[in-house]
Amino acid sequence: MKQSPNELHNELMDKLKEFTDEVGYHLPPDKIPDTTKSLINLFITYEKYRDSILFNGKRTLEKGIGQLPIEKQKEFERKIKEYYGR
């Protein structure tokens, strides 16, 4: 079951609270740095659009690159050898 962004946010904040309690450091919600909140929001956004990001990222790589750099280099070397007949 997918969670709503609000449910994910609450779960992550609870996990953060559990962690700080285990460490023995009390961190009230209003003292949580903005960067932590931003990372939580980024994670929630990623989870929300993960399938789309992975699919489009893979398609873009296949279309744009198609091969790893070492494969491109070997292909180039093969074409040079064919061209010059070595």
pLDDT digits (tens, 9 = 90+) for 27-80: 666 666 666 667 777 777 777 777 777 777 777 666 666 666 777 788 888 988
Q: What was the pLDDT predicted at 36?
A: 67
Confidence band of 86 (pLDDT split at 50, 70, 90):
low
pTM: 0.34
Domain ranges in the chain?
5-84
Q: What was the pLDDT predicted at 29?
A: 64
Q: What was the pLDDT predicted at 61?
A: 65
Q: What was the pLDDT predicted at 64?
A: 64
Residue 83 scores a pLDDT above 80 = yes
∠ CA 40-45-46, nearest 5°, is 95
Place of tokens 């489009």: 56
Give CA–CA dist 37/40, Å, rounded.
5
